[in-house]
Amino acid sequence: MKKQEKATEIYRRLAVEFPDAHCELNHDGPFQLVVATALSAQCTDVRVNMVTPVLFKAYPTPEKLAKAKQEDVEKIIHSTGFYKNKAKNIIACAQRIVTVHEGVVPQTIEELSALPGVGRKTANVVLSNAFNINHGVVVDTHVMRISGLLKITKEETPEKIEQDLMKLFPQKDWGMLSHLFIFLGRRVCIARRPQCDLCVLIDLCPSRTKTARAKSP
């Protein structure tokens, strides 16, 4: 099977397996998604979802967060890890949204990436999930790992992996692609205990376990 055909089949099977795949960061609007995604760095979505209701109750708008004291924000987001740097960044991010963008989250990759604490991955998350704009593919640890296991890329950096995935999959599927890989990574292809026998991609995966390999078609 050619790589392009393999990519098409991977997407088809995962779309059937996880029809409800979606962004698992709870949010109400683009601003909350920017902040939640920034907090999710090296932290689980579950933990972030425990913190953000308190954070957004105290600071429901960019204007409110822009005026927050860092130590107050640190107390709320402490459990997400790296809380000092994250608090500094999300406050600065809110300030830039207010001063540069009149309180409205921008809708371009360049403007989003210029926000403090917002890299290309976060920008892609916001564009895709808040604005339905597929500018690129969100490459997190799950997407990196599974892309490598499936051998659809030989690259090792998020930027280069993203470029490979963008070539293999249609632009209309870029946003959903990351959700499908993330759902697979969290529910079946778990890093420390992959359940290959339960995976719908078993026969397409060169990295499946030997036991699973024996059961594959």
CATH 1.10.340.30 fits 30-131, yes or no: yes
Q: Report yes or no: 137 and 177 within 8 Å, Cβ to Cβ.
A: yes
Beta-carbon-side half-sphere exposure of residue 111 (alpha carbons within 13 Å): 13
Burial class (CB in 10 A: 0-12, 13-18, 19+), 8: middle
**pLDDT at position 217, please?**
47
Q: Which of 189, 80, 110 is nearest to 143 (CA)?
A: 189
Residue 113: closest CA among 129, 140, 128, 93:
93
Can you give the pLDDT at residue 213?
56
190 DSSP assignment: -
Q: Give CA–CA dist 173/142, Å, rounded.
A: 17
Q: How far apart are CA 106 and CA 100, in angstroms?
A: 10
CB atoms within 10 A of CB 186: 14
pLDDT of residue 216: 45
Distance CA 40, CA 125 (A): 12
* Residue limits of CATH 1.10.340.30 in the chain: 30-131
Q: Which residues are catalytic?
A: 121, 140
CATH code 1.10.1670.10 region(s) in the chain: 3-21+138-215
CATH fold, domain 3-21+138-215, is: Endonuclease Iii, domain 2 (1.10.1670)
Q: Which amino acid is at 144?
A: M
pTM attached to this predicted model: 0.92
Structural contact between residues 33 and 27, judged by C-beta atoms closer than 8 angstroms: yes
Question: At 69, is the secondary structure helix, strand, or coil?
Answer: coil
Q: Could you state, in chain order, the average pLDDT of each consecutive group of 10 residues for the chain (217 residues)?
A: 94 98 97 98 96 98 98 98 98 98 97 95 97 97 96 96 98 98 97 94 90 53
The whole-angstrom separation of Cα 109 and Cα 122 is: 10
Check residue 61 and give left, alpha or beta (phi > 0: left; psi -120 to 50: alpha): beta
